[in-house]
Amino acid sequence: MTFLPFLIGAALIIGVFWYRRWSRQQRRTQLLATPLTAQQRAVVAELFPLFRRIPDELRPKLEGKINLFLDQVTFRGKNGLEVTESMRLSIAAQACLLIVNSPAWYDTIRNVLLYPSAFRPHRNAHDGYIVHEDRLTLLGESWARGPVVLSWDHALHGGFDPDDGHNVVIHEFAHQLDALTGHTNGIPILRKGQAYAGWEKAMLEAYQGHVARVEGGADTLIDPYGASNHEEFFAEAIVTFFEKPRAMRAEEPALYAQLSELLALDPAQWN
């Protein structure tokens, strides 16, 4: 009899745990099945014109993931910026485009920080026993488990022009996609059945060619910033994949094929 209260308490705790888990799963399923309103759809199409090119069969998936993203993530304005619903919708749509046809999800992202424009984070760096300040001007940054930090001015302009090869939101969320392995190194979790050898060959050859062109002062399809390292090349390649897909398919067919397989998307075929 002395164990009865313990057993009842344990059963209640387990029951509450499973109910909460079931409730979260039900909410997730409901959000993924919920379309945007006509007004929300119009806002996304205005601020992120690439949205208009997405094939009809992908739209319900994207809209559901936008709703799930908005339910999960809190947007926080910095330096006096007031975050609006339009800002949230624009950024959520761009972030979810990467994973619209993928099982991947940004599980650890709970906050997006928005600055009005380019920002200068204040960090302390340790050099032996000396602590010195490291101040850089940034357009965006992505931490492995969040948050993602963005300049709204650059996020807005990046979304407005779907063909210029520059998009800070897609760039930073490509880092989030990369980081799902636990490391940000340009090797994301590959699609089921996608061979690592093929991925490595295509990425390394494209990266080495890109670095050589940048160092030689030649024009490049992928933003020169991609020559910084493998993870930045991956992020900039993702941007080019969405914003200059036909050019990438022509100039870097192996890279395009690997990204297309990874994301299960073929934007070169979109109108």
Q: What are the pLDDT digits (tens) for 121-151?
A: 755 544 444 443 455 788 999 998 889 999 9
pLDDT value at 93 more than 90: yes
Tokens coding 256? 């395009």
Question: Whole-angstrom Cα distance, residue 21 to residue 23?
Answer: 5
Between residues 201 and 123, which one has the greater pLDDT?
A: 201
Going by their DSSP bridges, the two strands 130-135 and 140-142 should be labelled as: unpaired
Q: Indicate whether 193 pLDDT > 50.
A: yes
Q: What gap in Å lies between CA 246 and CA 232, rounded to an integer?
A: 21
Residue 259: C-alpha distances to residues 31, 171, 199, 204, 245 (Å): 27, 14, 9, 13, 10
Q: Which pTM does this prediction carry?
A: 0.88
Report pLDDT digits (tens) over 250-261.
999 999 999 999
Q: Which of 267, 225, 266, 239 is nearest to 177 (CA)?
A: 239
Q: What is the mean pLDDT of residues 152-157?
A: 96
C-alpha–C-alpha distance, residues 235 and 176, integer Å: 9
**Does the pLDDT of residue 106 top 70, yes or no?**
yes
Sign of CA dihedral 133, 109, 168, 159: negative
Cβ neighbours of residue 193 closer than 8 Å, sequence gap 6 or more: none
Question: Mean pLDDT, the chain, as a whole number?
Answer: 91
Query: Buried b / exposed e across 60-90, counting CB within 10 Å, b at 16+?
Result: ebbbbbbbbbbeebebeeeeebebeeebbbb
Nearest to 64 by CA among 12, 27, 39: 27
Give kind and range of the element (H or E) at residue 149: strand 148-151
Q: Average pLDDT for residues 103-123, to the nearest whole number?
A: 90
